Structure 1
Amino acid sequence: MAGAALSNSVPRQETTPHAAPQAVTIAQALPIWARIAALSFGGPAGQIAVMHRILVEERRWISENRFLHALNFCTLLPGPEAQQLATYVGWLMHGTRGGLLAGGLFVLPGVVAIMALSWIYALYGNVGLVAGLFFGLKAAVLAIVAQAVLRIGRKALKSRVLVALAAASFVAIFFLDVPFPLIVLTAGVIGYFGGRAGLPQFRAGGGHGTSGKDDGGPYLLGDDELPQERPSHGHALRVLSIWGAIWLVPVALILVLLGPGNVFAQVALFFSQMAMVTFGGAYAVLAYVAQQAVDHYGWLQPGEMLDGLGMAETTPGPLIMVTQFVGFLAAYRAPGALPPLVAGTLGGLLTTWVTFAPCFLWISLGAPYVERLRGNRALAGALAAITAAVVGVILNLAVWFALHTIFAEVRPFAAGPIRVDLPVLASLNPYALLLAVAALVAVFRFKVGMILTLAACSATGMALHLTGLV
């Protein structure tokens, strides 16, 4: 949802401005999608910028208008929009096989990296330098999430109505413990009818705009190119049956064989439900995941959720890959008859499966109909309202993380419908506070990049651990 200038870190190949691009086979596309996957750092904004640079400017596989239209469609879907955008463009170029290649490769580096870090965390997470590393990461993550609130808010909150929706969503989730899916649904309904009525307050404030300028082509997939697959009821039924089975049959087998109380069944059900309601990008849904995984299921501690987000921030792939870390720890700590590391590995892979299988379902089902969304005021209004609500949800995430990073203890407070955690002031960690403030100053005052901020905070955390201060 957050906009970003195009990344300058991607080397640009020389391309004749108006030379007609040659047809690309799926084998020729493979190394390009692998390159995009390897460069997919920096959250959705950075990932989308990398794709724009390579697909639109360098390779000229898809026109500017088609790229932005595909992106707008993906922002309407639950799930990680950058991964879905890769899947969509791959589908446009080479059908289902192309979508699987592009979307699958986009996830693969993150799967491997997060799994390796999860093993290290489980074995050494509370020992010496590793604990210091994650202590520092938490401070940097706070600054990054705060930056996301402002970045998205500036683009999304273009009217007082949308500001009010953002404020209401924050109050609902932080003070009243309203479920995230209900907040998204309510905002979407309000925006849908506001947009349908033509109210200017529900006009979207802009999506992930890019700074690249369209020079008019030609492109391999120009504005008038038709997709290989046309919308039809038969196609929709085939997609639903095939991808529905790929996604849900393993979940059903786990429920039948292990029972609903088993940790693998809980992981499969929870993250399957999450896959259907994860509108608004990774930062927004992490508030919901943290709320459920920490408070409801007790799979991990608040600080460990921050550790997982730090892992996802520093590895390629979608930020939602942090859910693999959550699934890993859930199964690692309730392994049953399995060795803990084996159980954790299976739990992490199961989480990734039920998180990303629906993404291929949404694209395969909806992409043939995407041109019908062009210029639809009601859907644009729904997206604008959901985006506004997401700003409030991300603010909740920032406050939640701050409370559990800077204070060692919080206590629940209840008064009528209000349910909120309040910090125990005596438990304040001064080093965590100073490091968080330093990260905020670096990000907002000196415009230090995400990777450098994460590296500096991690090094500082390890230094503090070596000196025995934390």
Structure 2
Amino acid sequence: MESTRLPYTKIDLIRYFLYLGTTGFGGPPALVSAMNRDLVTERKWISEEDYREGLALAQLAPGPLAAQLAIYLGYVHYSVIGATLAGLAFVLPSFIMVVLLGWTYRQFNGLPWMQAVFYGIGAAVIGIIAIGTHKLTAKTIGKDLLGWCVFGVSAVATIITESELIWLVLLSGGIYWFVKSPSIRAGSGMGMSFAPFFTQVLAFPTDSVLWKLALFFAKAGAFVFGSGLAIVPFLYGGVVKEYGWLNEQQFLDAVAVAMITPGPLVITVAFIGYLVAGFPGACVAALATFLPCYLFTILPAPYFKRWGKHPGVKAFVDGVTVAAIGAIAGAVVVLARRQLIDVPSVVIALATAALLYRFKKLPELSVIGGAAVVGLLLRYSS
């Protein structure tokens, strides 16, 4: 079988995504960069072409970017079972951490230490994702002038709008298609069908809180494009304004919990679900959010695998990839503006970037731990 000749097994795949889900801080920019570094450059489990196809699909489909990329990379060699294992392994560690934090939050009526820890970690994360994005950008774009133009426009648009613009991503793919594959004619026998669908059946009364949670978070997972950051305004409008499940402070604490825990940022839905309806609420919120993005990844995946080597599709994917990286770079600036609020936080971010640039093998987790301690010392010594 082909799988026996692969450089990794399903167990290796599970171990890696459990590790990334346990130690991967920084949200989509850091996690996307980490998968490229670990799986493409260092381990060589995934080809650069497969990675780009996965990043393009994750960018085009609604749902959390990093989780969809993990699912697609699991699909590359092990089909649906690999996608399922990779997705579960990636999400499970942060889900467990968030549920435990939710229990602690309810027991002690808030987490006063959270903001102190987040202060240090948040600043360090800016340095981490800045270095990761720099490496990913240099590797992907190289000396491609068109690529740098698309990258710059995407980055600036993200900084100005503070969101990822799906129409700009599609336009970038179209520009690359037109410039890089001018000889490809429309109707050249190629056809990609994107007909993913999502149905949810839950055995709860339709007027129960769990049913309402399921429907709301399924809508969040199915209709919100962009990274985990893009889902935050949508969640705020529903959780705080429409349903009144949480107050303003509780919602901000939920976002902070997602930021100080590793794994996908969108795991904040489990914390919200826990505060609303306990452990069942956390499970329903997480399942309803991630199931659509799982389906939106594995259903189109065969078409990406089948047509990804076609020159026209390859050019389109390259354009989407460059636009996605530009959006990630723009997101770094957006995050930095919100997180680097004073001189100490700027120093922590710059020191983190300098350390990681100078010492290539320095474990990011040790930097995160050191930053958390610095944050606590700064907060409680003042």
Q: Relative to 1, partners in 2 of residues 1:432 and 1:295: Cα closer, same or farther, differing over 3 Å?
A: farther
Amino acid at match of 1:86: G
Does residue 1:191 correspond to 2:176, yes or no? yes
Contact 2:118-2:259 within 8 A present in 1 as well = no
- Quote the offset at 1:353 in angstroms: 2.6
- Quote the offset at 1:53 in angstroms: 9.6
- Quote the offset at 1:379 in angstroms: 1.9
Q: Which residue of 2 aligns with 1:323?
A: 266
Unaligned residue ranges in structure 2 (runs of 5+): 25-30, 59-64, 185-190, 241-245
C-alpha distance in 1, partners of 2:182/2:109? 54
Contact 1:287-1:394 within 8 A present in 2 as well = no
Residues 30-41 of structure 1 correspond to what in structure 2 (within 5 A)? 31-40=11-20, 41=23
Q: Which residue of 1 aligns with 2:148?
A: 163
Does residue 1:84 correspond to 2:69, yes or no? no
Does residue 1:366 correspond to 2:311, yes or no? no
- Quote the offset at 1:197 in angstroms: 1.5
- Quote the offset at 1:142 in angstroms: 0.9
C-alpha distance in 1, partners of 2:147/2:204? 42
Contact 1:136-1:460 within 8 A present in 2 as well = yes
Q: Which residue of 1 aligns with 2:349?
A: 436
Q: Which residue of 2 aligns with 1:267?
A: 217
Q: Which residue of 2 aligns with 1:249?
A: 200
Q: Which has the higher contact order (CA 8 A, sep 6+)?
A: 2
Among candidates 321, 335, 339, match of residue 405 of structure 1:
339
- C-alpha deviations, 1:57-78, integer Å up to 9, x for none? xxxxxxx7x8555434323322
Contact 1:168-1:392 within 8 A present in 2 as well = yes
Q: Relative to 1, partners in 2 of residues 1:150 and 1:198: Cα closer, same or farther, differing over 3 Å?
A: farther
Contact 1:141-1:310 within 8 A present in 2 as well = no
Does residue 1:175 correspond to 2:160, yes or no? yes
Amino acid at match of 2:376: M
- Quote the offset at 1:451 in angstroms: 1.5
Does residue 1:460 correspond to 2:377, yes or no? no
C-alpha distance in 1, partners of 2:205/2:175? 36
C-alpha root-mean-square deviation of aligned residues, in Å? 4.3
Q: Which residue of 1 aligns with 2:321?
A: 387
- Quote the offset at 1:105 in angstroms: 4.2
Amino acid at match of 1:393: A
Contact 1:170-1:392 within 8 A present in 2 as well = yes
Amino acid at match of 2:120: G
- Quote the offset at 1:89 in angstroms: 1.3
Q: Relative to 1, partners in 2 of residues 1:255 and 1:291: Cα closer, same or farther, differing over 3 Å?
A: farther
> TM-score normalised to the size of structure 2?
0.72
Q: Which residue of 2 aligns with 1:451?
A: 365
Greater helix proportion: 2
- C-alpha deviations, 1:223-242, integer Å up to 9, x for none? xxxxxxxxxx9xx99x96xx
| Secondary structure class of the residue paired with 1:249 | coil
Q: Relative to 1, partners in 2 of residues 1:293 and 1:173: Cα closer, same or farther, differing over 3 Å?
A: farther
Amino acid at match of 1:248: T
- C-alpha deviations, 1:131-186, integer Å up to 9, x for none? 32222110111112212331222123333322222222233233256752222122
C-alpha distance in 2, partners of 1:310/1:165? 32
Q: Which residue of 1 aligns with 2:62?
A: none
Amino acid at match of 1:90: Y
Q: Which residue of 2 aligns with 1:423?
A: none
Q: Relative to 1, partners in 2 of residues 1:180 and 1:130: Cα closer, same or farther, differing over 3 Å?
A: same
- Quote the offset at 1:50 in angstroms: 5.3
Q: Which residue of 2 aligns with 1:149?
A: 133
Q: Relative to 1, partners in 2 of residues 1:190 and 1:309: Cα closer, same or farther, differing over 3 Å?
A: farther
C-alpha distance in 1, partners of 2:4/2:353? 47
Q: Which residue of 2 aligns with 1:351?
A: 289
| Secondary structure class of the residue paired with 1:248 | coil
